[in-house]
């Protein structure tokens, strides 16, 4: 990984794509989701998390006078249960996510990284706690939620990590994810979901029992989704290396029908279970799913 390459996610041209997505103070105070509210502090009922600079209106009883004595600056102790929202973002880094058609600007994984980075930035800018996990055949990396600016840097570095895993399934990672969801909150899963839909659905529904509001982003390469390739194209399975020469024009109709039925199955089942599902391709402006999240959540408040 190039030194500090994560900073591209903080580049003005990148930020411009989603900086106009402003979550109102009311939305944040209400938890950015149904049923999640910050807990009033009583002094010693929650675990100390971090310090933050004092702002007018903050409770003076939490000022750390030891730090004031050393720095002559006011900082208050912030506790875990003060956070507006606990969110976790899980990104699929199996080999299939690395697929990128010749005419595509992004691979599926590139798109997923940008989406994860933008969500992290938006939530942490609202002082929400955000965690991040990389999934493949198991949960490979996990960073527990925090709300500090340093946490954003940590998340972006890990999101930007170039590692992918030679695995074709994420099913087993959901049990690992469930064990990490110790607080009610928001869980975002970003994947191509090209697996057994019955198993995927069953595992994600189990996460609802962890008192999670769940947002699913299913990503496809646009040319992969529409099967827009030349005849006698050679397709290579990114996970097994198997090669197959086909005529896409002869398969396109049946292929699209199978793919669309998979999307419909996910959308129907998840929607019925109050899970937000969004299918996007690598040609979808990535601020669109972010904008939809803000709009949908604001309508539900």
With residues binned 3-state (H G I as helix, E B as strand, rest as coil), the percentages for the chain, rounded to 5, are 40, 20, 35
Predicted confidence band of residue 36 (pLDDT cuts 50, 70, 90): very low
pLDDT tens for residues 94-133? 999 998 888 888 899 999 998 998 888 878 877 789 999 9
Q: What is the pLDDT of residue 284?
A: 87
Of the ranges 50-54, 205-209, 238-242, the best mean pLDDT one = 205-209
Sorted by where each begins, the domain ranges of the chain are: 5-21+83-300, 40-82
Neighbours of 8 (CB within 10 A): 15
Q: What is the pLDDT of residue 277?
A: 94
Predicted confidence band of residue 48 (pLDDT cuts 50, 70, 90): low
Q: Does the CA dihedral 25-31-37-43 come out positive or negative?
A: negative
Span between the terminal Cα atoms of the chain, in Å: 41
Predicted confidence band of residue 241 (pLDDT cuts 50, 70, 90): low
Q: What is the rounded average pLDDT of the residues 150-171?
A: 90
Q: What is the rounded average pLDDT of the residues 18-41?
A: 35
Q: What is the rounded average pLDDT of the residues 21-31?
A: 34
Predicted confidence band of residue 242 (pLDDT cuts 50, 70, 90): low
Q: What is the rounded average pLDDT of the residues 180-188?
A: 91
Q: What is the pLDDT of residue 231?
A: 59
| Local structure of 63: helix, strand or coil | strand
pTM over 0.75: no
Lowest pLDDT segment from 26-35, 146-155, 212-221, 271-280: 26-35
Q: What is the pLDDT of residue 281?
A: 93
Predicted confidence band of residue 26 (pLDDT cuts 50, 70, 90): very low
Q: What is the rounded average pLDDT of the residues 141-155?
A: 91
Q: Token pair for residue 149?
A: 């600016």
Token pair 């938006």 is found at: 122
Range 5-21+83-300: architecture per CATH: 3-Layer(aba) Sandwich (3.40)
The mean predicted confidence, pLDDT, of the chain is: 77
Give the closest residue to 91 by CA, choosing from 6, 205, 218. Answer: 218
User: In this predicted model, which residue has the larger pLDDT, 161 or 19?
Assistant: 161
For residues 207 and 233, the answer to whether their CB atoms sit within 8 Å is: no
Q: What is the rounded average pLDDT of the residues 18-43?
A: 34
For residues 14 and 114, the answer to whether their CB atoms sit within 8 Å is: yes
pLDDT tens for residues 276-289? 999 999 988 877 78
Q: What is the pLDDT of residue 79?
A: 58
Give the closest residue to 170 by CA, choosing from 276, 285, 93. Answer: 93
């Amino acid at each position: 990984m190039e030194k500090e390459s994560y900073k591209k996610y903080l580049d003005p041209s990148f930020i411009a794509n989603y900086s106009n997505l402003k979550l109102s103070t009311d939305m944040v105070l209400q938890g950015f989701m149904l049923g999640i509210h910050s807990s009033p502090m009583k002094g010693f009922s929650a675990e100390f998390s971090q310090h933050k600079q004092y702002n007018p209106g903050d409770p003076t009883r939490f000022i750390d006078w030891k730090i004031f004595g050393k720095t002559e600056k006011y900082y208050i102790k912030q506790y875990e249960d003060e956070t507006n929202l606990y969110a976790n973002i899980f990104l699929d880094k199996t080999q299939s996510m690395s697929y990128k058609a010749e005419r595509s600007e992004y691979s599926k994984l590139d798109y997923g990284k940008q989406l994860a980075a933008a969500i992290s930035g938006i939530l942490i800018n609202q002082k929400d706690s955000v965690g991040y996990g990389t999934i493949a055949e198991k949960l490979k990396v996990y960073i527990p939620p925090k709300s500090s600016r340093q946490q954003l840097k940590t998340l972006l570095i890990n999101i930007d990590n170039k590692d992918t895993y030679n695995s074709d399934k994420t099913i087993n990672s959901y049990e690992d994810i469930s064990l990490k969801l110790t607080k009610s909150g928001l869980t975002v899963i970003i994947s191509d979901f090209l697996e057994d839909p019955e198993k995927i659905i069953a595992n994600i529904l189990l996460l609802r029992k962890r008192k999670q509001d769940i947002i699913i982003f299913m990503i496809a390469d646009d040319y992969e989704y529409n099967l827009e390739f030349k005849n006698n194209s050679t397709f290579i399975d990114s996970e097994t290396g198997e090669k197959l020469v086909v005529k896409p024009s002869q398969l396109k109709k049946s292929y699209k029908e199978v793919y669309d039925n998979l999307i419909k199955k996910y959308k129907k089942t998840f929607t019925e279970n109050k899970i937000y599902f969004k299918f996007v391709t690598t040609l979808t402006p990535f601020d669109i799913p972010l904008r939809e999240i803000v709009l949908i959540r604001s309508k539900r408040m």
